[in-house]
Structure formats: structure tokens, C-alpha cells
Amino acid sequence: MERSYEKYTPVEVITTLGAEVKEFWFPSVMTPVSMILEVVMEMIIPFLMASIIDKGVTPGNMAHIRHTGIIMIIVAVMGLLFGVMGAHFGAKASAGLARNLRNTMFEKIQAFSFPNLDKYSTAGLVTRLTTDVTNIQNAYQMILRMFMRAPSSIVIAMVMAFSINARLSMIYLVAVIFLAIFIFFLMGRVTDYFAEVFLRYDDLNESVQENVSGIRVVKAFVREEHEKSKFFEAAGNIYRMFVRAEKMIILNMPVMQFTVYTCILLLSWFGAHFIVYGDLTTGELMSLLTYCMNILMSLMMLSMIFVMVSMSAASARRITEVIKETPVIREPENPVYEVKDGSVTFENVSFSYYGKEKDYILSDVNLSIGDGETIGIIGGTGSSKTSLINLISRLYDVTEGSVKVGGVDVRSYDIKTLRKSVAHVLQKNELFSGTILENLRWGNELATEEECAEACRIACAAEFIEKFHDGYETHIEQGGTNLSGGQKQRLCIARAILGKPKILILDDSTSAVDTATDATIRQGFRESLPGMTKFIIAQRISSVMDADRIVVLDEGRISGVGTHEELMENNEIYRDVYESQQSGAGLSDFDD
């Protein structure tokens, strides 16, 4: 899935990134200006040098040498000053761009809806926010500082050279045009090669990643050799592609050297003639040779920039993908800011993750749930239980039909208002690094400690939290790794009910909690949160059998709705599930 994004044109990519740098327009302008001024200073020096030799050294005029020398020192100091300015502004503009890119992307991702998030892998998003931004930062700094500097250095050197001797300087003109054409074609090829290299590079890293996390499986099936040969092949491919790309790049150097050496030789040869015929001084010839070196250096710099920019082009494209991604689920124009009650109605609901044409995984669901009802949902693996309840808080939008909460289509609500009223305990839940209290307050920032403790009591989390040395101040590691599965689930439930929602959705949220505790939690719900509409998805019949009504889903369709007794009577699937659990005395784990 990760690679099927929209393709953006270079212009779109540049405008997207350009918008982020607007704030730093001043340093962005000042950097090349400073760099150009630095170059001007640098270029004046050989000119002054020629003057020292011709007007000072040759006629033996020490006063001229001293005078010009002082000017040269002033010029060098000014060069330093402009250099420092360039360093300052360049760093500021590029670090600023990086900051803005990160902020914008992060904000954008926060605005993503679930379908958007499904499109990107977590690792892909992390890379975009870190490595890719750093690449852009470096490339931007390089562009600001060098991209103007190198060509202006070439131009100034040429102007200087022409002002010394226009006829001789024609040599440069020819050389520069020749090199520019060469670099243009070479870099075009190299850019393509590198784009491919980086794609393969991702594959290689993926292979390592999979082997690190799946090492047990590799070892259990004794597939070390198999994986090794796969990796060696991938590494070999990378090697071949890098060699191919670099073989092109290194052509740069000999061609460059050839051109410059030719220039030097031609300059020397014709320069000698000019001097002998009195059209040129030796000092001027030396200056011309110096400019020749300057032009060479700038050209090399320029080709290096091209390589860097082409390498960061991939990063720029990846960043643009995130910034230009439009959230699939959008706020309505005149949103409703109040959820009246916790009733939920599904009207002719059909849903597919892939849009209309593809297979529906929910078809034609009609269901009406009253305020305060407790609904159990049961069904096999892949029967779309989660997909059904994800529609209530608009984590996904229906493909056809409508879902109403409190009598109003969910698509008419202000999304925040809706999600505040519908608390959702996800199947794949996460806790964040921080104290237990901080984690609980995700559900309600303003909750007092007493309210938190009360929520934990209902969710049967209080009993283990209070056993911890630091109680509610206990620090939770990233991903909640220092808690057991059952403990995590109970904390997640507590976090959800803390917001006093009108509707509570538990998506297989007690699977790691033992049956007795599970029953206690449900009893707590009944006693302490009577008015709340509750949806309980579970694999255990015991978790749903005391619900007001139970919905049995089968392959995306409702197979039956009713109480435990009714379903036992007239729903074969339900009876099957019930019996499958009875014969083995149900389920439990042995936690706690």
C-alpha cells in the first residue's frame, strides 16, 4: 500500500515547500546576497593582485604595493563579514524551513482521518518527519549558500577576465558552455539512477527490519540461509546500482579537469603571444589563470549541488505527499454542536474500505438502538464487527446509507463534539509514556483525581493501580510495556469512561481480562453508568449474554438481533458460538 501515492509535479512540490519558507523570506534572500557579496570581494582580490604586480612590483613602486595591499585587506575582511552573514542567514532560513515543515506535517497528520492513516505506515510517517526533513534542510542550506554563489562566482570571474582581456577570455566562454551542457546531461541520468537506488534501499532496510522483529520465526523454521540469500541478493542489487550511478558521476571529474587544463594551456600559449606582442602584462596573465581555477571550483561545487538536490528530491516528494493529502473525513459546513442523546440508528448502511466498486464488507445494515441500551456484538473473524462500530464516531464514513446518533446524521456533527460524546476503546489500543494519571486525563483533561479513581474503580483498574508503589503517579513506559495486557485494557476503559460520554464502544476491550473481572466491570457499568449507550464487541458469549440485545454479524450482514434467549432459540450461528464455548468451559486467562 505504502507506495501508491499521487504523483506530484516538480512545480507542485516546489510551491508546497515554498509556502513553508515564506516566514523566512528575509534570511532566504539575504543568504544569497551575502554570498554574492562575498564572491565579489573574493574576485576583486586577483584583480588587485595584478595591479600590485604590474604597477607596484614591476616599476618598483612600494607605495602602490602598500596602498593596494591595504585595500586588499579591507576587501578580505569585508569578505569575511559577508561570509559570516551568509552563514548566519543560511542556517536560520534552512533550520526555519525544517521547523515549519515538521510543524505543518505534524498538524496535517493530526488532521488525517483513519482512511488517510491506513495509507501510510507508522515508519513511513516517522521517516518523513525526521530523515526527510533533515535532507531538505541540508539541501536548502546548500542551495541558498552555494547555488547563487557558484554561478555568480563564475559570472564575476568571467566579467573580470573579460575586462582584463576579452579576446583571451573567449576561451572561458566556450569552456563554460561546454561544461554546462555536459553537467546538464550527466545529472539528468544520475538523478534517475539515484531515485531507483533509494527505492531499493528501502527494500533492503525493510528486509533487515523484518528479520530483526521476526527473528524467532526465522530461527524456528531454520530459514537463516534462505533469508541470507535473499538479503545478499538485495545487497548485491544495491551494490550494482550504486556502482552504475557513481560510474556516471565520476565522469564529471575527468571532463572538468580536461576542460580546465585545456583552458590553462590555451591561456598560457596565447597569453605568451599577447605578452610578447605587448597586448597583455604578466600580472594580467596570472590573474586570468587564477580566475580559471575559480571557475573550476565553482563548477565542481555546482555539480555537487545538483547531486545533493537530486538526492533530496525524493524526500521533497514524500513530504509533499503528506502536506497535500486531504483528510477524507471533513467537517460539515454548518456543524451541529450538540448530541441530544445516545441513540444510534443504522439505515441501509453499506461500507467498503476501497470505495463503491469493490466488495462491500458491510451490506445493507439496518439497526436502531435506543438511548441507554447495552448492545452486544458477536461474529466470526472478519465478520466486520469493528468496521460496523467504527462508523458511529465517524472514524470511517459509510459508503452508502447513513448512521445517525441522537437522530442526526453523524456527518452533520462537529467531529469533536461527536467524538466527545462517543468514547471508543479501540481494539489496538495505546498508552503513552507518562504517569497513569496523565494517561487517564486523555479522556478528560479537567478530571480530578477523585474522578479518575472512580473511573478506575468502575473499570476494575483501581485494584492493581493502588498496589503499585507510586499509585496513580506510576510511570508508564512507551507503549505501556510495563503493564500486562489485561491491566492495559482496564486502563484504556477507565480512560474512555472518564469523559462521561453518551455512547461507549468497547471493541474486544476485555479479551485479556479474566472472565470474573470482566463480569465485575460490566456490573460496574450497569450500576454506575446506567444512562450510557454501550456497544460491546466480544468473542466470549459471557461478555455479551446479559446485554439488552445482541447483534450477530456474519460476513458483513446482520444474521440476527435479540436477547440471549431469543438468539439461542432462533440463531444458528449464535448457538454454535455458545456451544463452542460451553464445551470447553468457556474462556479465561490466568492473569492476576
Partner 1 sequence: MAAPGGVKVKDPGKIFKRLMGIVMKRYAVSVVVVVVCIIVGVLASVQGTLFTRTLIDDYILPMVNNNSRDFRPLLGAMTRVAVFYLIGIIASYVHQRLMVEVSQGTLKNLRCELFEKMEKLPLRYFDTHPHGEIMSVYTNDIDTLRQMISQSLPQFLNSIITVVSVLISMLFLNVPLTIITLFMVGISFFASKTATGISGGFFKSQQKALGSINGYIEEMMTGQKVVKVFNHEEAAIEEFKKRNEELFHSSYNANQYSNILGPINAQIGNLSYVVCAIAGGAMAISGFSGLTLGALASFLSFNRSFSMPISQISMQINFVIMALAGGERIFALLDEEPEEDNGYVSLVNAKRNPDGTLSETDERTGLWAWKHVHSADGSIDYVELKGEITLNNVDFAYDGEHFVLHDIALNAESGQKIAFVGSTGAGKTTITNLINRFYDIQDGKIRFDGININKIKKGDLRRSLGMVLQDTSLFTGTIMENIRFGRLDATDEEVIKAAKLVSADSFIRHLPEGYNTVITGNGASLSQGQRQLLSIARAAVADPPALILDEATSSIDTRTEKIIQAGMDSLMKGRTSFVIAHRLSTVRNADCIMVLENGRITERGNHEALIKEKGKYYQLYTGLKAAN
Show contacts with partner 1 in window 435-454 (CB under 8 A): 442-443, 445
- 485 and 364 Cβ atoms separated by less than 8 Å: no
What secondary structure letter does DSSP report for 502? S
**Residue 467 interacts with partner 1 (CB under 8 A)?**
no
Q: How far is the CB of 47 from partner 1 (least distance, A)?
A: 12
- Tell which positions 280-299 bind partner 1, by CB under 8 A: 282, 285-286, 289-290, 293
**Is residue 368 near partner 1 by the rule CB under 8 A?**
no
Q: Closer CB to partner 1, residue 12 or residue 134?
A: 134
Size of the site for partner 1 (CB under 8 A): 162
Q: Give least dist CB 9 to partner 1, A.
A: 27
Residue 25, burial from CB neighbour count under 10 angstroms (0-12, 13-18, 19+)? exposed
Site mask, partner 1, residues 231-270, x = CB under 8 A? xx--xx-xx--xx--xx--x--xx--xx--x--xx--xx-
CA atoms within 13 A on the CB side of 340: 11
Closest approach of partner 1 to the CB of residue 10, in Å: 26
379 vs 406, which CB is nearer to partner 1?
Answer: 379
- Tell me how far, at minimum, the Cβ of 300 lies from partner 1, in Å: 12
Dihedral (CA of 531, 537, 538, 541) sign: positive
Radius of gyration of the chain (CA): 35
**The one among 221, 338, 449, 470 contacting partner 1 by CB under 8 A:** 221
Exactly one of 38, 325, 373, 397 binds partner 1 (CB under 8 A); which one? Answer: 38
Q: How far is the CB of 396 from partner 1 (least distance, A)?
A: 11
Which residues, including other chains, have CB under 8 Å from residue 289's CB and lie 6 or more apart?
264, 267, 268
Would you say 10 or 106 has its CB closer to partner 1? 106
Question: Closest by alpha carbon to 476, among 425, 431, 445?
Answer: 431
Amino acid present at 363: S
Give the Cα separation of 528 and 545 in Å (integer): 19
**Which one of 9, 18, 66, 199 is in contact with partner 1 (CB under 8 A)?**
66
- Contact (CB, 8 A) for 400 and 350: yes
From the list 159, 173, 199, 516, which residue makes contact with partner 1 (rule: CB under 8 A)? 516
User: Which residue of 8, 23, 92, 500 would you call a contact of partner 1, by CB under 8 A?
Assistant: 92
Site string for partner 1, 476-515 (x = CB under 8 A): --xx----xx---------x---x---------------x
Q: Site mask, partner 1, residues 195-214, x = CB under 8 A?
A: --------xxxxxxxxxxxx
Q: In what order do the strands lie in the sheet with 503-507?
A: 422-425, 503-507, 533-537, 374-379, 549-554, 557-562
* Ranges within 128-167 binding partner 1 (CB under 8 A): 129-130, 137, 141, 145
Within residues 523-542, the interface with partner 1 by CB under 8 A covers 539-540, 542
The amino acid at 246: E
Task: State the Cα–Cα distance between residues 473 and 97, nearest whole angstrom.
Answer: 39
Nearer to partner 1, 530 or 584 (CB): 584
Closest approach, Cβ 401 to partner 1, in A, equals 22
Single-letter amino acid code for the residue at 24: F
Q: Which helix (H) or strand (E) holds 504?
A: strand 503-507
- β-partners of residue 400 are 350
For 157, 385, 559, the CA distances from 573, given in Å and listed in that order, are: 86, 15, 8
Of the ranges 159-167, 171-179, 337-345, 378-386, which one interacts with partner 1 (CB under 8 A)?
A: 378-386
Is residue 395 a contact residue for partner 1 (CB under 8 A)?
Answer: yes
Binding span for partner 1 by CB under 8 A among 10-18, 157-165, 338-346, 413-421: 413-421
Q: Which of residues 325-364 bind partner 1 (CB under 8 A)?
A: 359
**Closer residue to partner 1 in complex, CB, 343/517:** 517
According to CB under 8 A, which one of 40, 49, 170, 529 is a site residue for partner 1?
49
Q: How many CB atoms lie within 10 A of CB 77?
A: 11
Place of cell 513530504: 319
According to CB under 8 A, which residues from 112 to 131 bind partner 1? Answer: 112-114, 117, 121-123, 125-126, 129-130
Name which position in 382, 448, 526, 570 contacts partner 1 (CB under 8 A). Answer: 382
- The torsion angles phi and psi of 302, rounded to 5 degrees, stand at -60, -45
Write the DSSP assignment of 144-211 as a string of letters.
Answer: IIIITHHHHHHHHHHHHHHHH-HHHHHHHHHHHHHHHHHHHHHHHHHHHHHHHHHHHHHHHHHHHHHH
